[in-house]
Structure 1
């Protein structure tokens, strides 16, 4: 019996969202109609997934780095609230202020600017490489990895490989954190892969695949999830000697104007929750869509995460209509 359901490897971030009508263009002033650079919410893909799973009652081991020291008190208080180990959280120097600026237009499309990024690249000593200790991985049912700081990618790969713990890769198109050779290693290690349409197209082009199902040439791979935004999700999965496919509809949020930041991470949490609770692949996809719908209802990627009871209540509603 494993002590933890998930070890989550990735980053936390402070996120400032600026609302514009149209995306910036060179030589043209861009009015900002909401948001501020001095105000931020807590987010980041690693934190989003930790928070979503913990809120559902899963036992989570966070292995996180972060670039803005202003998050220190929040992150450690968050870990204590959900009875998570704190020794996998690597604190930055007190002067660190690397933050994420998201520019969002009226159609809810995003442009992301990551400040102080040079400090995160291999060779920089500002944050330091995080030691990926065996204890982070050996007592978990799954490792979930989303784009870590670039200098931590190879140590994480090596530690995951050494642990033998199944890997769920939440794909990100980030040539610094996930360059070709390291991404290839992660794909070979993965039992579950989550990617959106842009990311699956990228994987096909990057690795010369005729179609995304070709990733199942890796015998470790059991499930490949392609999220489709408002069209829901498509899931490929191994069933004996066959590669099967199922599709789940999107779940409508209970609000007039959805907020899309963090919705993909929410889907990952709902799907993985279903997976460790023995649900079918199709049920997992519905749970992913259901959790994502909560995230869409409020600005901020972790501000409206459901409890297990809330998730299952919404899931039962959509399952009857599926």
Structure 2
């Protein structure tokens, strides 16, 4: 298959995000979920929670870090494909349909376990409490990958949570390199970085071309503050990005470093900000834009998504984003 010059392939934990607005903390107390926490739950607890919220109004969107990035790229009219694992159930069908509706091609393996999901309870003060069941998402295996999945793309983007399955990541990176893809890696969580530092260092040295980290992840990996951490990351990767929250981001490409300022935004929900930053940056990158432009588009997407509850931005917001990108290219 001929390589599409701007096609991006992603792989990650396939989750359905379920957002539930509640009037008070009573349900959280009853479910024994500490307000503001992120709790990993087992299958029985997940079923119990789903049954309890069955009658409540809720919204759904496909989730998981890499899925959010791939959806963002598709919304910018970039050919996008996603590899993941779901269950043979209603949420699995919902994940597949939602991704398809957002113009993402999916390569989904199926498990007897239920589809992974992250239930987000939002109280009137806008604080979020998470109950996450990984389920089928973690059952993607190295043996399920083949070279044909990686053919015809420009970039392979992976979320850092997958380093918990080392055989899967190494197999994916080997296949991506054999197919001539550049590899983009988002560190995803400082906890994951701390627990897998040596393995991640091997990946960066041997495979990774583009690295995304926030300042906590960069510090966990290097023990250094953002600018010095960026320098260390850039020593092994072609492109290094360290996101610094309200301060913006730092980008090093071709030995040049750029400071990208954050856009002004009214933060309602920071979920997916880093994922959408990566989407904007990679959009600029595959379209041959200058590093500063890539960072600015990343900053634009990251700023827009935090003004929305959840990671699914309305169509009119995406149209505004596309128009702003067009204007920035013309300028």
Q: TM-score when scaled to structure 1?
A: 0.76
> How far 1:285 sits from its partner (Å)?
0.9
Give the drift of 1:155.
Answer: 2.7
Q: Give the gaps of 5 or more residues in structure 1.
A: none
- Alignment match of 2:192 (pick from 175, 187, 190): 175
In 2: Cα distance, 1:203 partner to 1:68 partner: 37
Q: What is the match of residue 57 of structure 1?
A: 77
Q: Which residue of 2 aligns with 1:136?
A: 149
Relative to 1, partners in 2 of residues 1:157 and 1:112: Cα closer, same or farther, differing over 3 Å? farther
**TM-fit CA distance, 1:186:** 2.4
| Partner residue in 2 for 1:222 | 238
The residue that corresponds to 1:276 in the other structure is 286
Structure 1 or 2: larger helix share?
Answer: 2
Structure 1 position 250 matched with structure 2 position 269: no
Corresponding residue for 2:301? 291
Q: Tell me how far 1:294 sits from its aligned partner.
A: 2.4
**Residue of structure 1 equivalent to 2:176:** 160
Aligned residues: 298
Instruction: Note if 1:193 corresponds to 2:211.
Output: yes
Question: After superposition, what is the alpha-carbon deviation per residue over 1:110-157, rounded to whole angstroms, capped at 9, x for unaligned?
Answer: 67553356x776xxxx66556221112231111111135433333323
* Structure 1 residue 316: Cα displacement: 6.5
Partners of 2:116 and 2:137 within 8 A in 1: no
Q: 1:102 to 1:271 in 2, by over 3 A?
A: same
State the shift of 1:318 in Å: 7.7
Residues 199-256 of structure 1: CA deviation (Å, up to 9, x unaligned): 11011039xx9643122332xx221111122221111222xxxx22111111223xx5
CA RMSD of aligned residues (A): 3.9
Alignment of 1:304 with 2:314, yes or no, is: yes
Which residue number corresponds to residue 46 of structure 2?
Answer: none
User: Is contact 2:197-2:221 (8 Å) kept?
Assistant: no
Q: Following the alignment from structure 1 to structure 2, what is the Cα–Cα distance between the partners of residues 308 and 97? A: 28
Provide the rounded CA distance (Å) in 1 between the counterparts of 2:137 and 2:74.
27
Distance apart, 1:72 and its partner CA: 2.0
Q: In structure 1, the residue corresponding to 2:178 is in which secondary structure? A: helix
Please give the residue correspondences for 1:19-98 in structure 2 after superposition, counting only pairs within 5 Å: 38=53, 39=58, 41-42=60-61, 43-66=63-86, 69-81=89-101, 84-86=104-106, 88-93=107-112, 95-98=113-116
Is the alpha carbon distance of 1:6 and 1:120 closer, same or farther for their aligned partners in structure 2, counting shifts above 3 Å?
A: closer
User: Equivalent residue for 1:10?
Assistant: 12
Matches within 5 A, 1:118-129: none
In structure 1, what is the Cα distance between the partners aligned to 2:217 and 2:232? 15
Q: TM-score w.r.t. structure 2 length?
A: 0.74
Q: CA deviation at 1:190?
A: 1.4
Q: CA deviation at 1:293?
A: 2.4
The 8 Å contact of residues 294 and 306 in structure 1, kept in 2 or not, is answered as no
Q: How far is the alpha carbon of 1:263 from its aligned partner?
A: 1.3
Tell me how far apart the structure 1 counterparts of residues 175 and 14 of structure 2 sit (CA, whole Å): 20
**Distance in 1 between residues matched to 2:248 and 2:328, nearest whole Å:** 13
